[in-house]
Chains A and B, each alone.
Chain A
Amino acid sequence: MSVKRKRNLSATIALLPTWFAAVVVFIGTMAWSIRLSFTNSTLFPSSTYVGFAQYSKLFASAKWLASLQNVLIFGVLYVAGCLVLGFLLAAALDRKIRFESALRTIFLYPYAMSFVVTGLIWQWMLNPTLGIQASVRSLGWESFVLDWVVNRDMAIYALVLAGVWQGAGLVMVIALAGIRGIEAEQWKAARIDGIPVWRIYVSIILPQLGPALAAAGMLLAMGVIKTYDIVVAMTNGGPGNATEVPAKFIMDNLFGRQNLGLATAGATVLVLGVVIAVAPFRYAMHMRNQAKGGAR
């Protein structure tokens, strides 16, 4: 008994800094931001409360609404694109090919680059007067058009393209590790049964990769919420509002527009959005675990 208590005490003391960080640094700053969103703060925090005025201003702003829509389009396509392409790359590399490690390095390399670099490179490539369009036209195909970054309707997909190019390598590595972890006997058994290779991947390998791909998807999804640098580097939110994202909206209002109240309101909405998106998922997991526990 006394030994147990002693261990608990030392564990508690050891965890104190963690608790301090969790309560003061994370929850404290979050509460501080939420408080600011109910004030009329501009450049510096003020304590004049204005109720939900900042929120109504926020949702009256076409820019904010556009940014929510954009991050949704970008998020879904980016995560799905990375998962699909990453898995395909992993499956391809798994076929005992030559130069596997060299190819692995090449495919993973984009992920090591900062989003700013990725954004700039793709901006140059897709810029109609400098990049691919200009080079193809100079070869003689005068009517060739590839103007995604400057086209209002296509700019968001240009971002997705650059994002997938960067993120697919990460999924590939995680999926490849998962595939390598699958026992060779399953392969042998499937071969003996004469099942085609693609079918093995779809019906046997893929289901077993669930947890690995879920982890990769979660990593990518977290990146989506804070998407900022790639947008700034590639399009700066333009043309018009076509590629505006919430994180950029918040940063712009925080600094350039000296509008702390509106920026924190935006940040609060973003956090709420994540909570709303994650809560049902967590709840389902919780219920499933309980059901499992009950059955046992």
Chain B
Amino acid sequence: MKTMMKLFLAGVAFAGLCAPVQAEDKPTIEIMSSWTSGGEAAALNVIKTEFEKRGGVWKDSSIAGFGAADAAFQNRIVAGDAPGAKQGVIGLAAADFVSQGLFNPIDDVAATGKWADALPKSIHDLISYDGKVYLAPTGAHGESWVFYSKEAFSKAGIAQEPKSWDEFFTDLDKLKAAGIIPVAWGGQPWQQTKVFNMILLSQVGTDGFLKIYADKDKSEASVEGVKKTLAILGKLRGYVDAGAAGRNWNDATAMLITDKAGVQFMGDWAKGEFTVAGQEPGKDYGCMIAPESKGMVYIADALWFPKTGNAETDKAQKLLAEVVMDPTIQVEFALKKGSVPMRSDVDKSKLDACAQKGLELMSAGAIVPDQAIVLTPQQVGALDDFVDEYWSGGSNDAGAAAENFFAIFE
């Protein structure tokens, strides 16, 4: 027993000696992300390459699926074995971690990099808690996009992008008649919620949208807007194929890439998939903002930096934050990921036609935040349930369903 104890103690001491020796070499960081599709991985690789060029050591812990990555991350945090960085969205999801003192602030990096000047004020506010910067934003995504296959459109005889929902449905009929699946539908709740939101924005405008989600307004105008939204959403059911339930967004994008389907409602990360498949915007595929929409729903990604209690990791976190906010990296990352750079002082000429369109709306302030930014994770889940239940329930009673919508905020 005694020898066992001695052996154990010696082992502990040995391990204790080894760890710092290994860590002294280079700032090492473990990155946990859910960026696993082709375009996402390519974008993450941009950060990785630069980080390694500047002397960091990169350990990848990618987990497919946003929810799965989140669950793994929470487990690691609770177990006291937090990874050095985690990819997540800017918004209320990070607030709990910060208020529990689990994240490292990156104030000094933000100060030297003059982030306050480079970022739009609303974004800077969202990454700061109690006046300190905690998150390093990687890029913003527009979520009001309708992508379409140019070949499918020409086969169906559609000459130009539809301007209204009526025109849109006429075009969907044409696609159907041409034997093409009109809508490549991503059948997971979070994707359906995004479609709901982009239709909602087209029906109630940016002010109405903010009233509903930020002020939890239940006035008649809001209810009416939700009703009209549900009516349009319900109509879309007739244009999706039988295999839509549970489909991944990138599988839906692949249907456009192979010209099997006409349109897809998705955030601009779908562009990453087109790019990986060697397709070009404007030539092989088109991008338009949802019909009748005068603005764009956006969501922003960032890196979170949990406290690990390891000085080398802290150093690596700062280096990583620096890399992520580097103007050239922001542009390169955006090109691969399909996103829009967060910094307003970057070279915009390199961005594709779709990103420029998005950037235009962004700088004009015609944007509204995604539900993940303004709602708690519980409310986001309830919203997903609501939209999924309406979509898959086959009920066309938009009025009754609209009543349930406002229960999300309770």
Contact = CB atoms under 8 A, between A and B. Distances in A.
Given A129-B243, A130-B243, A236-B246, A257 B188 contact: no
B67 A240 contact: no
A150 B377 contact: no
Interface in A199-236: 235-236
B71 A255 contact: yes
A256 B380 CA distance: 10
Interface string B187-221: 11100000000000000000000000000000000
B403 interface: no
Given A42-B96, A42-B378, A129-B242, A255 B70 contact: yes
B107 to A, nearest CB: 24
A256 B71 contact: yes
A257 B380 contact: yes
15 contacts: A44-B100, A127-B243, A128-B243, A129-B242, A150-B245, A150-B246, A152-B394, A236-B188, A239-B187, A239-B245, A242-B392, A251-B71, A256-B71, A258-B377, A262-B378
Contact of B381 (A127, A239, A240, A256): A256
A238 interface: yes
Interface residues of A, number: 32
A173 B183 CA distance: 48
Interface of B: 67, 70-71, 74, 93, 96-97, 100, 187-189, 241-246, 376-378, 380-381, 385, 388-389, 391-394
A117 interface: no
Contacts of A262: 378
A256 B246 CA distance: 17
Contacts of B378: 42, 257-259, 262
A170 to B, nearest CB: 28
Interface string A41-54: 01110000000000
A168 B67 CA distance: 32
A109 B246 CA distance: 28
A62 interface: yes
Contacts of B391: 240
Nearest to B390: A240
A149 interface: yes
Contacts of B389: 62, 240-241
B71 A63 contact: no
Interface string A251-265: 111111111001000
Given A42-B96, A42-B378, A44-B100, A256 B244 contact: no
B377 A257 contact: yes
A123 B385 CA distance: 22
A66 B189 CA distance: 17
Nearest to A61: B385
Nearest to B388: A240
B95 to A, nearest CB: 9
Contacts of B393: 152, 240
Contact of B74 (A62, A130, A255): A255
Given A150-B245, A256-B381, 16 more contacts: A42-B377, A63-B385, A128-B243, A129-B242, A150-B242, A152-B392, A236-B188, A238-B189, A238-B392, A239-B187, A239-B245, A251-B71, A252-B381, A256-B67, A256-B71, A257-B378
B97 A43 contact: yes
A147 B388 contact: no
User: What are the 7 closest A-B residue pairs judged by CB atoms, nearest first?
Assistant: A129-B243, A255-B71, A240-B392, A239-B392, A257-B381, A150-B245, A128-B242
B381 A238 contact: no
A44 B385 CA distance: 23
Nearest to A244: B385
A253 B379 CA distance: 11
A202 B67 CA distance: 50
Contacts of A127: 243
A86 to B, nearest CB: 30
Nearest to A123: B246
Interface in A124-166: 127-130, 133, 147, 149-150, 152
Contacts of B189: 238
Contacts of B74: 43, 255, 258
B292 to A, nearest CB: 28
A152 B393 CA distance: 8
Contacts of B71: 251, 254-256
Nearest to A150: B245
A258 B246 CA distance: 23
B96 A258 contact: yes
A124 to B, nearest CB: 10
B394 A259 contact: no
A238 B67 contact: no
Contacts of A42: 96, 376-378
A203 to B, nearest CB: 46
A87 B130 CA distance: 66
